[in-house]
Structure 1
Amino acid sequence: MAGKDRALTLRFLAEPADVNFGGKVHGGAVMKWIDLAAYACAAGWSGKYCITVYAGGIRFVQPIHVGNIVEVNAKVIYTGTTSMHVALDVRAGDPKDSERHLTTHCIVIMVAVDDGGKPSEVPEWIPVDGEDIKLRDSALRLMDMRKRIGAEMEAHVKPAG
């Protein structure tokens, strides 16, 4: 049911097909896992099909090794009318051990869409405790920063002439 569960964790093993030339899990594979978890989280919250409109602040903190168990934790930290800001942390470690270390974190913005592909309203998420209020406030500050960065980038995306 939409608007009830704002967080989820995907778990799996890093496979040999995920390796890069340096012998660690490829950053592109990690970004795919992040996108999958963000989609599952946003679709679960909204009860609708969702598309990725922004992924930012991706930080690769430590490598993931083939054979590691990988946990991608996704949590809605802000909702707009049709959008959801999802905070994601990727943790990994030896499956024989319970310890998981942070490898990657970022924010992804998902938008719910209707059958025609038009943005569709999502249930509002209201923070209740201090930690959730901090996360929401951080999402609001990041929105403001993205607007300023977007304005700066206009010179780079407009055709010359």
Structure 2
Amino acid sequence: MHSITLRFLAQQSTLPVSGRIHGGTVLRWVDEAGFACATAWARGACVTALVGSANFEQPIHLGDLVEVQAQLAYTGQSSMNLIVEVRRHPVTGSEPVRVTRCVAVYTAVDEQGQPRAIDRWSPETPGDIALAQRVRAHIEAARAAL
């Protein structure tokens, strides 16, 4: 599976006093969706290597339908490089609004926690190729900043 979408309602238990979801909670959801996509592709254990380039554009409010979509952009020998987008669907029924988009990298690991080989996935459509180029550029920029 090269993409996965998680959908759920923003509930009272996830909301702080301000009435808006904290960025850390949104990043947890990003990691959960990315991890689900990566482990499905790798058919086994994975670890998070990088989550970056998250710019929060809109808040999530109580009752919003939250959608977190993780999509494989390209693979390495043991790594899966994804784009993860979070959208909120306001309770008013208006159009979905992007909350954030970021990149995430996961590494498939064996029982000893060492990287292991995975099936390769290469983009073929023009849209997939463009996505892979954007993700690659984000990852290279994030690693250069370290």
Structure 2's unaligned 5+ residue stretches are none
- State, as a whole percentage, how many aligned pairs show the same letter: 36
2:8 alignment partner AA: F
1:122 aligned partner: 118
Q: Deviations over 1:61-97 (max 9, x none)?
A: 1000011110001001011111111101101123562
> Of the two, which has the highest radius of gyration?
1
| Moved segments of 4+, more than 4 Å | none
- Tell me the matched-pair count: 146
| CA apart distance, 1:131 | 0.8
SS in 1 for 2:55: strand
Q: Deviations over 1:92-133 (max 9, x none)?
A: 123562631111110011111111111111111111111111
Q: Does residue 1:63 correspond to 2:47, yes or no?
A: no
Q: Does residue 1:45 correspond to 2:37, yes or no?
A: no
What is the alpha-carbon distance in structure 2 between the residues aligned to residue 63 and residue 13 of structure 1?
14
1:13 aligned partner: 9
What is the alpha-carbon distance in structure 1 between the residues aligned to residue 41 and residue 91 of structure 2?
29
1:81 aligned partner: 77
2:136 alignment partner AA: L
What is the alpha-carbon distance in structure 1 between the residues aligned to residue 142 and residue 53 of structure 2?
11
What is the alpha-carbon distance in structure 2 between the residues aligned to residue 41 and residue 98 of structure 1?
28
After TM superposition, the structure 1 stretch with the greater mean CA deviation from structure 2, 21-30 or 47-56, is: 21-30
Q: TM-score, normalised by structure 2?
A: 0.92
Structure 1's unaligned 5+ residue stretches are 151-161
